[in-house]
Structure 1
Amino acid sequence: MWFSHKQEKVTQHNTTQTLASLLTNGIDVSINELIQYQTKTSLINLAAKKDLHGKMSGNYLARSKGRGMEFDEVRHYQTGDDIRAIDWRVTARTGITHTKVFREEVERPVLIATDLSDNMMFGSQLLFKSVQASHLAALVAWHAKERGDRVGGIVFNQQKHTELKPRSRQQGVLHYLYSLSNIHQNTSEALFNSTENTSNNQNLAQQSFDENCGRIRQLAKPGSLVYLITDGNHLSQESLRHLTNISRHCELVICLITDPLETELPKSNKKINVAVTDGTNKQQLLIGDKNLAQKYKQQAQALTQTKEALLTKAGARILHFSAGTALETQLKNGITSWTR
């Protein structure tokens, strides 16, 4: 946004206050800023949205019925039913043999895959997309731990990845948070010292994204809840193939992180020529041109709709988050519907 000098001062002050409350500078990721989400787990709900097919022990009721711990109903006795489950009171009252039916309890690992590639190291207002992705991953991890789930997953960029098998209790969460911080620092350092041209970096990031979607597929056991946190800029037929396979046996949620500058140009009462670059190519943009702003916004919306269509076809549930607003604010104000 383009403001008057007074408005700009107010905006900068508000941004500084928000960053201070989040314990971040908006560019780097520290353990302290991720640990604070332990107190914000009420903001989300990880209740299962589809049938679970995991091991028969845990905190979630399966849709199937069997010999479990949670009573479900009484029905007529059928050949093959366990005689230990016969409900003698109902049988005596009706004169017909009835048996109790229970629901199985299902254990559900929560796998979080966080994309911290070069394309995530961008932010125009409050946070880098990579920082917002890390905050979201921390919130999901702490909430899963509170529910008694095992937490694991993958943290990756185009140079390296860390794979974490699901663990229970706080140890699993902290292990994941340290991986977020370490990989994020690795991405920053690699980006700063990189001598590769943009084209090579894009190809490397594309290959890495495909490979890590394959790793998620291998790690995700049937019945898992899988979160992929990314901007979706490197979706391909290969990665979509892996995601489709995951959604057949697991609940797959894709969290798309965007920056405000990726959705629309800054507003200005005056026409201003600004230079933009991707690190290699340069071009001029005329800020304040209504026709250009409208065209830019329409192209951004079309790109988002294309991503959504591909991911929906792959069987994923999609949630949108902005890097320009604090995560807690978005969830409290209903900007993002977590349970839809």
Structure 2
Amino acid sequence: MQLSQDIHQWLATHHSDGVNLQIKELLYYRTKASLLNLALGRPAQAKLAGGYLAKTKGRGMEFDEARHYQPGDDIRAIDWRVTARTGKTHTKIYREEKERPVFVLADLSSSMHFGTQLLFKSVQVAHLTALIAWAAHKRGDRIGGLVFNHTQHKEFKPFSRQKAVLSLLNGMVKLHKPHEIHDKNSVSNVTFADACARLRRLAHPGSLVFVLSDFAQLNDTAQQHLAQLSRHCEVTAYPISDPFEHTLPQSKYQQMLNLTDGYNEQQILIGEQGIATQYQSEHEQRFNSIHSRLKKSRAKVVPISCGLSLERQLAKRSSESDV
């Protein structure tokens, strides 16, 4: 496919070719952390102390209110000024601070190695993971995750240091292997459901969890794992798709388009309105089904295209939310 001059320039600026992955293009997002808002959407549930205010009241650093002293209250928390003013003993109540680790599930499996306009879906996943990791690092959150392709997975325990971000990004570069999807000797033994099950063991209650995938393997088992995860964590799902997966390319003339997944080949007729309408309808039903499953799992759903830059998509969503 012929790439426009603007796309060539964007790829060069971002040190990317859109197909392969290198650490340099992921380091770019260190200066773009402000594009992503990691503000707490649910009450913090983690047991460890941290930098987020929970709805529970306890012994924290953030003053919440003064109330009448009750038996069992810590006498060290008595508010002597209010007590003197009212003549009744009052105690200070503080808003308890909880920690909120951030976890990313990055899908680099076979179906993700596809793209027609800007990036492979797998490369967009890596870019979005980098943006999430740098945004978490900027806020002082611990960052961890699980990266998997069709043959192996790698787990990253959450740490708050920059080293944790770099470890996660380097792990993605190592597991991003688009050339292996054409290797018939490469046996697929890691499924999306497997990855979700592992993520449940990794993510502690109160964590902020991001799931980045095309969800082509979203079956009942994977959906159950996500639903269980959402009971104790705040889950955001980013369905990654390519424009070609929604609509066929426009053509003034009818012509056959050759398609291949590396193993099988087929042809599809473009430039014929009936086929284009049927194609769009079938794929719209498929994506609606995926979004419905994710929402039933109580996950927030944020669709992302690999045909547009993250800056453009996130900036647009930010401006729309401000209206």
Tell me which residue corresponds to 1:88: 80
Aligned partner letter, 2:86: T
- Among candidates 184, 193, 198, match of residue 194 of structure 1: 184
Q: Distance in 1 between matches of 2:261 and 2:113?
A: 12
Tell me which residue corresponds to 2:29: 37
Residue by residue, what CA displacement relative to the aligned partner does 1:64-93 show, whole Å, maximum 9, x if unpaired? Answer: 111111111122222222221121111221
Q: Distance in 2 between matches of 1:224 and 1:304?
A: 27
Tell me which residue corresponds to 1:332: 315
Aligned partner letter, 1:134: A
Tell me which residue corresponds to 2:173: 181
Q: TM-score, normalised by structure 2?
A: 0.94
- Among candidates 44, 51, 74, match of residue 59 of structure 1: 51
Tell me which residue corresponds to 1:309: 292
Tell me which residue corresponds to 1:290: 273
Deviation at 1:152, TM superposition (A): 0.8
Tell me which residue corresponds to 1:5: none
Deviation at 1:220, TM superposition (A): 0.6
Deviation at 1:276, TM superposition (A): 2.5
Q: Distance in 1 between matches of 2:320 and 2:124?
A: 17
How much identity, in percent, do the aligned residues show?
46
Q: Secondary structure at the match of 1:46?
A: coil
Q: Does residue 74 of structure 1 match 2:66? A: yes
Query: How many aligned residue pairs are there?
Result: 322
Deviation at 1:55, TM superposition (A): 2.6
Tell me which residue corresponds to 1:244: 227
What are the within-5 Å matches in structure 2 for residues 100-139 of structure 1? Answer: 100-139=92-131
Aligned partner letter, 2:296: K
Distance 1:142-1:310 versus aligned 2 partners, 3 A rule: same
Residue by residue, what CA displacement relative to the aligned partner does 1:250-272 show, whole Å, maximum 9, x if unpaired? Answer: 11111110001001111122222
Q: Does residue 212 of structure 1 match 2:212? A: no
Q: Please, which runs of 5 or more residues in structure 2 have no aligned partner?
A: none
- Among candidates 317, 320, 330, match of residue 303 of structure 2: 320
Q: Distance in 2 between matches of 1:305 and 1:217?
A: 25
Aligned partner letter, 1:123: G
Q: Distance in 2 between matches of 1:94 and 1:270?
A: 85
Deviation at 1:336, TM superposition (A): 9.8
Contact 1:319-1:338 within 8 A present in 2 as well: no
Q: Distance in 1 between matches of 2:90 and 2:274?
A: 72
Deviation at 1:273, TM superposition (A): 2.1
Q: Does residue 28 of structure 1 match 2:11? A: no
Cα-Cα RMSD: 2.0
Q: Does residue 165 of structure 1 match 2:146? A: no
Aligned partner letter, 2:58: G
Tell me which residue corresponds to 1:146: 138
Distance 1:337-1:316 versus aligned 2 partners, 3 A rule: farther
Q: Distance in 1 between matches of 2:179 and 2:270?
A: 32
Distance 1:335-1:93 versus aligned 2 partners, 3 A rule: closer
Q: Distance in 1 between matches of 2:108 and 2:282?
A: 25
Deviation at 1:280, TM superposition (A): 4.3
Aligned partner letter, 1:131: V
Tell me which residue corresponds to 1:4: none
Q: Secondary structure at the match of 1:40?
A: helix
Aligned partner letter, 2:5: H
Contact 2:191-2:217 within 8 A present in 1 as well: no
Q: Distance in 2 between matches of 1:174 and 1:301?
A: 37
Q: TM-score, normalised by structure 1?
A: 0.90
Tell me which residue corresponds to 1:225: 208
Contact 1:86-1:100 within 8 A present in 2 as well: yes
